[in-house]
Structure formats: C-alpha cells, structure tokens
Amino acid sequence: MKVSILQFPGTNCEYDTEYAFKKLGADTEIIWHKSETIPDNTDLLVVAGGFSYGDYLRSGAIAKFSPVMKAVTTYANNGGKVLGICNGFQVLTEAGLLPGALKRNEGLHFISKHHHLKVQNSDNIFLKELSDGDIVNIPIAHHDGNYYIDDAGLQELEENEQILLKYTDASGGVQNPNGSVASIAGVCNKNKNVFGLMPHPERAMEVVLGSDDGVNMLKGFFES
Amino acid sequence: MIKAIVNVYLKTGVLDSQGKAVHHALDSLGFNLVEDVRIGKQIVLQLDETDREKAMSDVTKMCEELLANTVIEDYNIELV
C-alpha cells in the first residue's frame, strides 16, 4: 500500500498524515506541489490539511493551480483514490473534484476541538470498516468548514449516497458546529473514489491523545 | 491603461454570517434603518490594456476561473 501525500506551501498536516498511514503499515511519500507527476505505484493520494498559500483569496483557491494538481485531476479521473482532509477538502472542492464549497464558519470563530460524527453512508472504500449510524469522535480544526451546496446539489448527494459523515452529538443527535448544510462533515464524488472531509482522522490515531477512532476510518483504504 | 474593480459577494440566498454579525452590531448602536448588510471583497486590477471590450472579457474569465467561487459567490466588474 503506497500513500502519496501532497504538500503545498502552508500545508501543516503532512507529517501527522504520514504517521497515521505508517502506523497502519503503508509506505508513504510526501510530494511537493511543484512536482508535475505523482508516483506510478500510488494506491491512495492524500491532500493533507493546513493553510495552503496562507488561505489567500479563499481557502484552497490558489492551490488548485499548483503544477501537481493537473496530475491529481488525471489520477482522480482515471479512478485513482483521493482523500482530502480539511484544507485538502477545500482544495478538492475548489478544483471541482468534489461538489459544493466551504464557507466561513457560521459563528465566525476558528473551531478546534473533538467532535462526534455519524457515519451516513459506509458503502464506499473509505468507510467500509464502519457501519451506517456509527458514531466516531474526531478532532476538527477549521475556520472555513461551513459546507454549502444548493438544494438540487444536496438532493443529488442524498440520492447517490455521497454524504459520508454528519456532525452530531455523542448519541447521534443534531449538533452542528459550523453551520454546514445538513450538518455535512464529509462527502465523496459520484464515482466514490474522491473523498473529502473537514475533521482530521489522522489526528485520532492514539487513545492517549483523546481518540483512536481515526484508525477504523483510514484502515478502509487498505485491502481487508 | 484601464483599471478594473471587481466586487465579489456571497450569492443572495447564501447566508452571510459576517454581514449578519455587523447588522446586529449596527442595530445595537441604534442604526435601526439598516435592513440588510452584505460583506464582500474588492479586488482592484491595473491592466496593461486599452481595449475595454478585451479587458472586460479577460477580467470575466479571471472571475470565473479564480477571483470568485461561483458555487457560492457572485461578482461584478467595473472598468474605470
């Protein structure tokens, strides 16, 4: 299992992501954004979190024009598996690889805390180790995590089972930290090979650090 | 030389949290005449171009490709 992790100027979660996938037994490689190719043997490409290009203009807006993004788009369009976490999710929506957009949090504050999430659709490679309705406890850390999609787009996401995770309280009740439409925390594309979420599963790998619920999420990408 | 002033706002119907917060603040200052507040950003471009039509068409492309995210934002362009 080879995991390639993208690094833009301002990315800051690439080493946590590397730690998480190495812990699960993967080979990892960090790919600088100026690279025009991604390694041929890549099984999973991760767009890691952080503040690419200082979030200038809009989060993820400048990163989508980095040289490596052409290779990412080709890789995704050929069915390659792509995971965008936090800023990586923002980059993938800006690049048009995932539907919707991320707006400033409704309460205008940067939110950094553990939050419960409910698995909405587990019939995809990412969440296959979990079941619909499972609750996980995963850190969130974002200023622009307020997921927006129009009514028609939301209906399409629901019909195609593209909503991966929703923010909830510990028992699965409604709790929306940032104003996201339908409390959405993560989505995938129609073909279910491109995934994006605002919460950080790579920061939930050790019980001693508050939660290891990220293990069962990221494990999904490995052959079972 | 043409200067292009681009204004980018959240679309009508997309909640503008900053606008709402400022509206509340204006209300509490006693400016009760304010009915709505929208906050956007202004991008000023100095262009090395004299043909207004060409400038407008290029700046429109810039807006569609980069300056605005048309999933959530509208833009308008003024040439001066």
Distance from CA of A220 to the nearest CA of B (A): 30
| pLDDT at res. A223 | 82
Q: pLDDT band for B1, please (50, 70, 90 cuts).
A: confident
Q: Given this model, what pLDDT does residue A180 score?
A: 98
Domain positions in chain A: 2-221
Contact B68, B5 (CB under 8 A): no
Backbone angle region of A157, left / alpha / beta, with phi > 0 → left and psi within -120 to 50 → alpha = alpha
Query: Which residues fall within 8 angstroms of residue A174, CB to CB, at 6 or more apart?
Result: A168, A183
pLDDT, tens digit only, all 224 positions of chain A: 999 999 999 999 999 999 999 999 999 999 999 999 999 999 999 999 999 999 999 999 999 999 999 999 999 999 999 999 999 999 999 999 999 999 999 999 999 999 999 999 999 999 999 999 999 999 999 999 999 999 999 999 999 999 999 999 999 999 999 999 999 999 999 999 999 999 999 999 999 999 999 999 999 999 86
**A218: its two tokens:** 């990221």
Confidence label for B51 from pLDDT (cuts 50, 70 and 90): very high
Residues of A catalogued as catalytic: 86, 200, 202
Binding-face residues of A in 20-59 toward B, CB within 8 A:
57-58
DSSP category for residue A21: H
Q: Can you list the positions of beta strands (E) in A16-172?
A: 27-32, 44-47, 81-85, 101-103, 111-119, 135-142, 146-148, 163-168
pLDDT computed for residue A224 by the predictor: 62
Strands (E), chain A: 2-7, 27-32, 44-47, 81-85, 101-103, 111-119, 135-142, 146-148, 163-168, 184-188, 194-197
SS3 A126: coil
What is the DSSP secondary structure assignment for residue A24, as one 8-state letter? T
- B34 interfaces chain A, CB cutoff of 8 Å: no
**Cβ partners under 8 Å of residue B55, min gap 6:** B2, B4, B47, B49, B79
What six digits make up the tokens of A143?
Answer: 């200023």
Asked if B72 lies within 8 A of A148 by C-beta distance, the reply is: yes
R_g over Cα of chain A: 16
Which residue carries 């304010």 as its tokens?
Answer: B34
Instruction: Give the number of beta-carbon pairs within 8 Å between A and B.
Output: 32
Report yes or no: B70 at the A interface, CB cutoff 8 Å: no
Record: contact B17-A93, CB cut-off 8 A: no
| SS3 (DSSP) at A179 | coil
Identify the CATH number of the domain in which residue B19 sits.
3.30.1280.10
* Candidates B17, B67, B69; nearest CB to A101: B69
Helix/strand/coil for B43? strand
The amino acid sitting at B39 is: I
Distance between CA atoms of B65 and A61, rounded to whole angstroms? 10
What's the mean pLDDT in B27-48? 96
Residue linked to tokens 């605002």: A198
Contact A101 B21 (CB under 8 A): no
What is the per-residue pLDDT for A115?
98
For A:71-90, CB contacts with B below 8 A are: none
In single-letter form, the type of residue at position A160 comes to N
CATH of domain A2-221: 3.40.50.880
Give the type of residue at A95. A
ipTM summary value: 0.88
**Which residues of A are less than 8 Å from B8 in CB distance?**
none
Nearest residue of chain B to residue A180 (CA atoms): B15
**Structurally, how many domains does chain B consist of?**
1
> Which range of residues forms the domain containing residue B50?
2-79
The per-residue pLDDT of chain B, averaged, comes to 96
Instruction: Determine, for residues A148 and B66 on separate chains, whether the beta-carbon distance falls below 8 Å.
Output: no
Rounded distance, CA A116 to CA A136, Å? 6
